[in-house]
Amino acid sequence: MIPLLSGSHARQLTRRQGQLRDQLVRLVLAEGFSTFTMDQFAARLRCSKRTLYTLARSKEQLATLAVREFFRAATEQVETAIRRVRQPARRVVAYLQAVAAALAPASREFHDDVAAFRPAREIYQRNTEAAAQRVRELIDDGRRAGAFRNVPTAFIAEVIAATMQRITSGEIQASTRLSDAAAYTELARLVVAAVRR
């Protein structure tokens, strides 16, 4: 998605709270969050409910925190992956492949729960839009460098955002049998082919 928008700036956490938040993100990515209660989260994370309440006041806020943190970390991961790539076409490909890698730990349960929970869905939507905007910036950079032809980048960004949503929802895999990683690779090739001189 990416520059995956992380939402509002998080407050400073203690070391223990940071570890707990990271464990929460891994758990939510693997199993989703809709079926968990605060008691179950506490049991799985081996902490007290009181400790969990230092992170969030409710299960819904805890889920939102996990989703927001996942996208914040994914932003860093993706931007780091393309930092040293200079050739414009390779930057576009590397970016979309890095998005696929960042999303790889997210289970179908996670995606289904995000789709069904409005605050998480809005975070996901903002990040998908930001990712499409980032690809648009990469294409604009390539166009200014003379590597890409003059193309309607706003339209291309819309197509990318829509395709990314279909990949993440599982629709692309269901209709094409491509894995998410393969679908992102093909999307990158399609975009590069469309803009290359």
pLDDT, one tens digit per residue, over 149-174 is 999 988 998 999 999 989 888 899 89
H or E stretch at 27: helix 15-31
Q: What percent of the chain has pLDDT over 70?
A: 94
User: From the DSSP assignment, how many helices (H) and strands (E) are in the chain?
Assistant: 10, 0
Whole-prediction pTM value? Answer: 0.85
Strand boundaries in 8-165, DSSP class E: none
Query: What is the end-to-end Cα distance of the chain in Å, rounded?
Result: 26
Alpha carbons 121 and 106: distance in angstroms, whole number: 14
DSSP letter for 37, please.
-
pLDDT tens digits, one per residue of 73-128: 999 999 999 999 999 999 999 999 999 899 889 998 998 999 999 999 999 999 98
Q: According to the model, what pLDDT value does residue 10 have? A: 52
**Alpha-carbon dihedral angle through residues 184, 185, 186, 190, given to the nearest 10 degrees:** 100
pLDDT at 192 over 80: yes
Q: According to the model, what pLDDT value does residue 169 have? A: 83
Q: What is the mean pLDDT of the chain?
A: 90
Report the amino acid identity of residue 51: T
Alpha carbons 80 and 73: distance in angstroms, whole number: 11
Q: What is the mean pLDDT of residues 30-39?
A: 96
